[in-house]
């Protein structure tokens, strides 16, 4: 709804400013922010409308988006887009909210962002405002200019695909329009912001892979860019989180799905470059992949039944033997290649064995390279935050 329409409905500018004051207070901001809110809201009224629907979700993707720092959520919501409907963030409820949705749908040409999956067993598993979510999604998709599935649930079903609801992602329901998938559990805000800005500034969809993920965020294999990769090559696999010696070692044997996961996580860390799963000591659970969750569970356990294509005569059993005879862990073709090349077997060591000087140097160099990357990213973010955004 434009500002003019708000005035036409009998809401005075004074009321509107009061509303902005209340919003500033609710956010814990000072009165000096109110004129900025008013002017931003007026500008936002001319910005592309966005409808954000939530199906079967935990609102984690909304939480994640709302925690973005550069640019901040308020900046995105007020300066960049006009968010017309969002069940978690909007102040309106009930009929008023539903009316805002219908009105925006009537106008058409909006960006539809979807969070959460859609049950296929029975529509009654997800009913919002008295209507099955599947129907609302199909209807909202009709006049959408672009559709973005934010988070793994809306992209491929995610965790809910493993539930008795047999849930699926948006592209399995909306089949007559392209869907930009931005998987991640939760969705990463930097990917959503960049996709929105790209679409708004070019009017085009980004270049995508076969799973409809933008190549810019999902074009590289985690394992190839991992800060722990030096230890993988040296055959240092963490088996005990309590052993200080193993703190930086490769997490493959504790369930890492990095060798099968395409993501920008090693390059673009979470929370404005603060850290990310593998850096913090948690194996990558492959949350950006269509296989996630059921295909990768249990997440923190090396996988006995991971399908591994045979490479150079190497099969899962052989890999298991090479890695200590313990098991055939979850490996992709690349790892089998490493085994074939003798890298893993040659360097396999007990975790009690100290690193050689050369290995120490290798590990430090990989770590420093990664830290430098993060500093560059952080510097870039800071510049952008200071008005250097292009
Ligand atoms: S298996 Fe995981 S922790 Fe090890 S190098 Fe690959 S991505 Fe990194
Ligand atoms: S490191 Fe892996 S599990 Fe963690 S957010 Fe990135 S893709 Fe998901």
Q: Kindly report, residue by residue over 70-79, the tens digit of the pLDDT.
A: 667 666 766 6
20 is known as an active-site residue: no
- Ligand 1 centroid, distance to 65 Cα (angstroms): 27
Domain boundary among 184, 202, 218: 218
- How much is the mean pLDDT over the chain? 77
Identify whether 102 is part of a domain. yes
Shared domain for 188 and 87, answered yes or no, is yes
CA angle 265/76/79 to nearest 5° reads 150
- Ligand 1 centroid, distance to 335 Cα (angstroms): 10
Q: Is the pLDDT of residue 39 over 80?
A: no
Shared domain for 183 and 238, answered yes or no, is no
From atom 2 of ligand 2, which residue's Cα is the shortest distance away? 284
**Residue listed under structure tokens 């599947």:** 134
**pLDDT at residue number 338:** 56
Identify whether 9 is part of a domain. yes
| Residue range 275-294: mean pLDDT, rounded | 96
Q: Could you tell me which residue, 177 or 41, shows the higher pLDDT?
A: 177
Tens-place pLDDT, residues 224-234: 999 999 999 99
0.85 exceeded by pTM: no
Shared domain for 62 and 206, answered yes or no, is yes
Q: Model confidence at 322, in pLDDT bands (50, 70, 90)?
A: very low
Q: Could you tell me which residue, 348 or 365, shows the higher pLDDT?
A: 365
Identify whether 317 is part of a domain. yes
Catalytic pick among 153, 231, 236, 381:
153
Q: Is the pLDDT of residue 118 over 80?
A: yes
**pLDDT at residue number 21:** 65
Q: Is the pLDDT of residue 250 over 90?
A: yes
Our count of domains for the chain comes to: 3
126 is known as an active-site residue: no
C-alpha closest to that of 156 among 122, 196, 116: 116
For residue 315, the domain's CATH number is 4.10.480.10
Identify whether 380 is part of a domain. no
Identify whether 325 is part of a domain. yes
| Residue range 99-112: mean pLDDT, rounded | 92
**pLDDT at residue number 230:** 95
Beta strands 82-86 and 110-115, pairing class:
unpaired
CA dihedral for 40, 46, 50, 51, sign (positive or negative): positive
**pLDDT at residue number 9:** 46
Shared domain for 185 and 61, answered yes or no, is yes
End-to-end Cα, the chain, rounded Å: 28
Ligand 2 neighbour 299 (Cβ under 6 A): no
Shared domain for 210 and 228, answered yes or no, is no
**pLDDT at residue number 200:** 81
Shared domain for 11 and 91, answered yes or no, is no
Identify whether 163 is part of a domain. yes
- Ligand 1 centroid, distance to 77 Cα (angstroms): 36
Shared domain for 261 and 341, answered yes or no, is yes
Beta strands 127-128 and 131-132, pairing class:
antiparallel
**pLDDT at residue number 307:** 43
Domain boundary among 159, 187, 218: 218
Distance CA 25, CA 20 (A): 9
Shared domain for 72 and 207, answered yes or no, is yes
**pLDDT at residue number 152:** 98
Asked whether the beta carbons of 221 and 266 are under 8 A apart, the reply is no
Tens-place pLDDT, residues 44-96: 456 789 999 999 999 999 999 888 776 676 667 666 678 888 888 877 778 88
For residue 149, the domain's CATH number is 3.40.50.700
Ligand 1 neighbour 336 (Cβ under 6 A): no
Shared domain for 300 and 319, answered yes or no, is yes
| Residue range 176-198: mean pLDDT, rounded | 92
**pLDDT at residue number 78:** 63
> CA dist 343 to 63, 323, 338, 346, Å?
42, 11, 6, 5
Q: Is the pLDDT of residue 153 over 80?
A: yes
Q: Is the pLDDT of residue 11 over 90?
A: no
Q: Model confidence at 310, in pLDDT bands (50, 70, 90)?
A: very low
Shared domain for 124 and 254, answered yes or no, is no
Peptide bond into 298 cis (omega under 30): yes
Ligand 1 neighbour 259 (Cβ under 6 A): yes
Shared domain for 354 and 228, answered yes or no, is yes
**pLDDT at residue number 313:** 37
**pLDDT at residue number 317:** 38
Return the minimum-mean-pLDDT range out of 198-202, 226-230, 260-264, 376-380. Answer: 376-380
Asked whether the beta carbons of 115 and 154 are under 8 A apart, the reply is yes
Shared domain for 282 and 193, answered yes or no, is no
Identify whether 374 is part of a domain. no
Return the minimum-mean-pLDDT range out of 189-198, 289-298, 311-320. Answer: 311-320
Ligand 1 neighbour 229 (Cβ under 6 A): yes
Identify whether 278 is part of a domain. yes
Where in the sequence is the domain holding 10, given as residue range(s)? 1-46
């Amino acid at each position: 709804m434009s500002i003019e329409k708000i005035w036409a409905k009998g809401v005075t500018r004074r009321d509107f400013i009061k509303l902005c004051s209340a919003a500033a207070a609710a956010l814990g901001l000072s009165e000096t922010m109110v004129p900025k809110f008013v002017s931003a809201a007026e500008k936002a009224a001319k910005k592309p409308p966005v409808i954000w629907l939530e199906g079967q979700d935990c609102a984690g993707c909304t939480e994640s988006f709302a925690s973005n720092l550069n640019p901040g959520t308020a900046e995105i919501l007020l300066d960049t887009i006009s968010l017309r409907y969002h069940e978690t963030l909007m102040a309106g409820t009930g009929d008023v909210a539903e009316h805002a949705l219908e009105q925006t749908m009537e106008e058409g040409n909006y960006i539809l962002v979807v969070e959460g999956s859609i049950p296929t067993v029975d529509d009654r598993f997800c009913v919002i405002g008295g209507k099955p979510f599947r129907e609302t999604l199909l209807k909202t998709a009709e006049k959408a200019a672009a559709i973005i599935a934010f988070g793994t649930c809306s992209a491929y079903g995610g965790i809910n695909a493993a539930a008795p609801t047999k849930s699926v992602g948006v592209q399995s329901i909306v089949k007559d329009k392209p869907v930009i998938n931005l998987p991640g559990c939760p969705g990463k805000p930097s990917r959503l912001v960049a996709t929105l800005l790209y679409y708004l500034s070019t009017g085009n969809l980004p270049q995508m892979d076969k799973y409809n993920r933008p190549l810019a965020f999902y074009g590289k294999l985690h394992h190839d860019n991992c800060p722990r990769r030096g230890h993988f090559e040296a055959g240092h696999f963490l088996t005990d989180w309590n052993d200080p010696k193993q703190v930086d070692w490769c997490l493959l044997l504790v369930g890492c799905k990095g060798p099968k996961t395409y993501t920008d996580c090693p390059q673009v860390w979470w929370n404005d470059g603060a850290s990310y799963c593998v850096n913090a000591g948690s194996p990558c659970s492959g949350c950006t992949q269509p296989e996630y969750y059921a295909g990768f569970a249990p997440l923190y356990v090396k996988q006995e039944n991971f399908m591994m294509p045979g490479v150079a005569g190497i099969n899962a059993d052989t890999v298991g033997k090479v890695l200590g005879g313990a098991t055939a862990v979850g490996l992709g073709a690349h790892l089998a290649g490493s085994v074939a090349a003798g890298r893993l077997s040659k360097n396999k060591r007990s975790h009690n064995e100290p690193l050689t000087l050369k290995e120490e140097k290798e590990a430090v160099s990989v770590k420093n390279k990664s830290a430098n990357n993060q500093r560059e990213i952080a510097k870039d973010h800071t510049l952008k935050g200071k008005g250097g955004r292009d």
